[in-house]
Amino acid sequence: MFVRTRFAPSPTGYLHVGGLRTALYAYLFAKQHQGTFILRIEDTDQSRKVEGATEKLIDALEWAGVEFDEGPGKEGVYGPYIQSQRLPIYHEHVKQLVDQGKAYHCFCTPERLERLKAEGGTMYDRHCRNISMDEARRRVSAGEPNVIRMKIPDDGELQFHDEVRGDVSIAFSTIDDQVLLKSDGFPTYHLAVVVDDHTMAVSHVIRGEEWLPSTPKHILLYQYFGWEKPKFAHLPLLLNPDKSKLSKRQGDVAVEDYRAKGYLKDALVNFVAFLGWNPGDEREIFSMEELVKEFSIERVGKAGAVFNIEKLNWMNQQHIKLQSESKLLPLIKPLLKLKGWDSFSDEYLQQVIGLMKERVVVTDDFVTSCPYFYEDPLSYDETSRAKNWKPETTGYIAKLIERLQTLVLFDAASVETALRTTADEFQVGAGKLIHPMRLAVSGAANGPSLFHMAEVLGRERVVRRIQKALEMLR
């Protein structure tokens, strides 16, 4: 099967997770069929353009591993891939439509259109549709501002097949005479997307559900130009937990936000892939390579997909567990540097990662949830102190220090033996020493295995911290 897909975002500032899903699905479909994935920047609405946004989009896609084959900086024979650089192409094609009587010049002023809307008009009233071609040319030559609209048939309906929705039928009476070329000479989305998809040989248009009502206009343009239309697949909406449309008002929606918060790219891609698609069995954790192999448009659902942050957190935990310490290390070192904790050896940090990776949700947790690996406790958990540090605790801990100082090997097993031997000597349960020792060493009430934590910290740090706690907590 010949496959060329595209992702065509507007450069408005950041990559929305919904945009990432669209790009991901188009990428997976192309790669599965040994096809080509294109990035095209749709910047014809110059009022929404944000400086530097294209570079941010490309960076976010590359971070996620959704790498395009053709696009800005990767020019192919179908370029340029930025719409504002393609204006002569659109002008040529819209002139063809006007000459064939399939589009017309509209001279209605913004004030008239606003008045029409205020009077309850939901569509353009076709006021300029029957102006003769000669009169239209004369008014254009005279410099009168105008737009170009496409002619929609007066009656009938347009039927098409959508790869997700199935057969769709939309009456022409519900479709506006769409503006194709604005008065500033820039095309609207509707003209540009059809011309670009055809001239870039796009075989499958995979995009969000919000474009479904516009699809008849696009198919009609394919018919007007005499072109074969691509296959369409409209993806379900992304929803907040309350079933409203996913928006920034209710939380983070930018890929950059999740990247900054310490989510792994593999986890975010895995999570986004499941927002509308599933493999048909119980499997939930996938690598990009596995997604390429398993993905299919046929298994994309119609119903809106809920963006569940708890599910993303769980997936991120699973992916962290699957990563080696050496793979996680480069992600964590910059975070430590920001805190001024950049003097530790890679070997030490990998031991910390190995001990903590079963307990963290995001990579930031390797820093924020266990500061005791990087500095002595600055305070002690008050609840644990009240519950676990009794007057008699001082004697137990003092004896434990003696044993820890004389250990030949300072590893987890030896530390555990020393603690349990001390507890037996005082005829108390091991918990009477475990909780106070954890408090002394970490300042916290909970954490990873105490004995393994002691091994990673080493004898010098552990003994020093316990001695300090004896002074501070007596």
248 is catalytic: yes
Say which of 117, 245, 248, 261 is annotated catalytic. Answer: 248
Residue 335 φ/ψ, nearest 5 degrees: -70, -40
What residues are labeled active site? Answer: 248
